[in-house]
Amino acid sequence: MADRAEGVYIWDTAGKRYLDGSGGACVVSIGHCVPEILDAIQRQFNRVPFVHSSHFTNPAVCELGDLLHQMAPDASFTRTYFLSGGSEAVETAVKLMRQYWRETGKPDKYKVISRWSSFHGNTTGALALGGHTARRSHYLPLFQHTPHIEPAYCYRCSFKQTPETCDLQCADELERCIKHEGPESVGAFIAEPVVGSTAGAVVPKDGYWQRIRQICDAYDVKLIVDEVMTGIGRCGRNFGIETWGVVPDFIVLAKGLSSGYTPLGAVMVKDEIHAAIKEGSGAFVHGHTYCQNPLSTAIGAAVLRYIQKHALVERSMRMGSYLMQKLASLNALDIVGDIRGLGLFAGIELVRDKASRAWFDRGLKVNLQVANQAFEHGLITYPGNGGIDGIHGDHILLAPPFTISEAQIDELVGILHRAIGTVQDQL
Ligand SMILES: Cc1ncc(COP(=O)(O)O)c(C=O)c1O
């Protein structure tokens, strides 16, 4: 039972303290209970807590839109649509993409290609795009046809390559898939710049994203990057995709956009997308009760101002390097197979055998065992499974608030080391 929180710590009602090593589910970026956010909530509450977007726009929504425009990877990202979370934002990006193609005279383009071992949300449209077999299987009959390609997962390359022999076949898969499906029917490709919850901070090889962009351009396919986990500084840059200098067409955001102070998601689009709809039919056929919500966007704006004021994106990069350096000590443990990540976004893959990279039996729930041990010792992590083939694979995801100190990272790694060591001894 959570009782209170401050900075990187949460206390339960029995008074036990937990270090929030995963920011919940990779959400909390500026730390808990920041007074400036409460001030922003009070100011907006006293001004206007709610108006419906069919009646009014509001200054908070404009301010957050402007801040995101300034942070964007390219000046052409002039428009943002605000929602209540990541799944809603993914669905909104897909609908925008679809309407864009109808407005621009290519009404046959509707398919969205995505990747296995990915996650885009739990509403049926977003879940269909995700590539986590165990999460999808109950609901398969409800899904549209959504072609999936192999992930860019260097530790377990689907094409049996090593970093030395790799010629980015995982990116070329997109071209093959577009050809098989028929380029005239493919509207977009969606992927996470660094895979989060389904595989544990899987970073693609340099060159992957550049190749993906080239293929999308060659076949007139829009690129949607799902930055729900990686965006707003998590990977040490404003947006994870900027690591590779690639400019997408749509950016999906949530989680760190409000640092968990309110449910908030967003879709940023290039001016071209907005203009096509505005000058075409004139209206995006969409809307939710809480889209463009004044209170939520005021909170988002306060979070972004706080991140800028305290240079927290740069801090995420700096503390991320320190975290990776410290996590290297876990390599001494037999069941630690791979340690990876970017900025303050790190994954530890757990294996039965280091040399062969053999995975654990799913029934052992090794990821949960480690997370439970860590929790016992006062550390919150985000365990996951199914990264290898949708069913198998165990990992632990770490995504602490950007405000974490070196001493707190030492504490985090110390507890995690003990937790993995204990599980290893018990297996
Ligand atoms: C990459 C990604 N996209 C979308 C979502 C869905 O976001 P929400 O849970 O806010 O609907 C998540 C949630 O974990 C995510 O990690």
Q: Compute, in degrees rounded to 10, the torsion defined by CA atoms 244, 245, 248, 252.
A: 60
User: What atom of ligand 1 comes closest to residue 90's alpha carbon?
Assistant: 4
User: Is the Cβ atom of 197 under 6 angstroms away from ligand 1?
Assistant: yes
User: Is the Cβ atom of 131 under 6 angstroms away from ligand 1?
Assistant: no
The domains located in the chain, with CATH, are: 2-30+311-426 (3.90.1150.10), 36-309 (3.40.640.10)
SS3 of 203, please? coil
Q: Which of 90, 135, 228 to mutate to test the pocket of ligand 1 (most atoms within 8 A of CB)?
A: 228
CA-CA distance, 36 to 227, in Å (whole number)? Answer: 25
CA-CA distance, 300 to 305, in Å (whole number)? Answer: 9
User: Is the Cβ atom of 87 under 6 angstroms away from ligand 1?
Assistant: yes
Query: Which of 252, 232, 231, 404 is closest to 306 using CA atoms?
Result: 232
User: Is the Cβ atom of 85 under 6 angstroms away from ligand 1?
Assistant: yes
Ligand 1 centroid to residue 264 C-alpha, Å: 11
Answer for the pair 257, 230: CB distance below 8 angstroms, yes or no.
no
CA-CA distance, 104 to 372, in Å (whole number)? Answer: 52
- Going by alpha carbons, the residue nearest to atom 7 of ligand 1 is 86
Q: What is the predicted pLDDT for the residue at 365?
A: 97
User: What atom of ligand 1 comes closest to residue 226's alpha carbon?
Assistant: 1
Does this model's pTM top 0.95? My answer is yes
User: What atom of ligand 1 comes closest to residue 121's alpha carbon?
Assistant: 6
Answer for the pair 311, 289: CB distance below 8 angstroms, yes or no.
no
Ligand 1 centroid to residue 121 C-alpha, Å: 5
Q: What is the predicted pLDDT for the residue at 73?
A: 96
Ligand 1 centroid to residue 90 C-alpha, Å: 8
Q: Compute how many other C-beta atoms are within 10 angstroms of the C-beta atom of residue 59.
A: 14
Ligand 1 centroid to residue 126 C-alpha, Å: 9
Ligand 1 centroid to residue 122 C-alpha, Å: 8
User: Is the Cβ atom of 114 under 6 angstroms away from ligand 1?
Assistant: no
CA-CA distance, 411 to 413, in Å (whole number)? Answer: 6
Ligand 1 centroid to residue 333 C-alpha, Å: 31
Note the Cα 26 to chain centre separation in Å. Answer: 8
Interhelix angle 86-103/271-279, nearest 10 degrees: 60
Q: Which of 129, 230, 255, 345 to mutate to test the pocket of ligand 1 (most atoms within 8 A of CB)?
A: 255
CA separation, residue 271 to residues 125, 154, 275 (Å): 25, 35, 6
Q: Which of 84, 120, 227, 345 to mutate to test the pocket of ligand 1 (most atoms within 8 A of CB)?
A: 120
User: What atom of ligand 1 comes closest to residue 87's alpha carbon?
Assistant: 11
Answer for the pair 371, 415: CB distance below 8 angstroms, yes or no.
no
Ligand 1 centroid to residue 349 C-alpha, Å: 21
User: Is the Cβ atom of 229 under 6 angstroms away from ligand 1?
Assistant: yes
Ligand 1 centroid to residue 86 C-alpha, Å: 5
User: Is the Cβ atom of 228 under 6 angstroms away from ligand 1?
Assistant: yes
Q: What is the predicted pLDDT for the residue at 320?
A: 98
In the predicted model, residues of the chain with pLDDT beneath 50 are: none
User: Is the Cβ atom of 226 under 6 angstroms away from ligand 1?
Assistant: yes
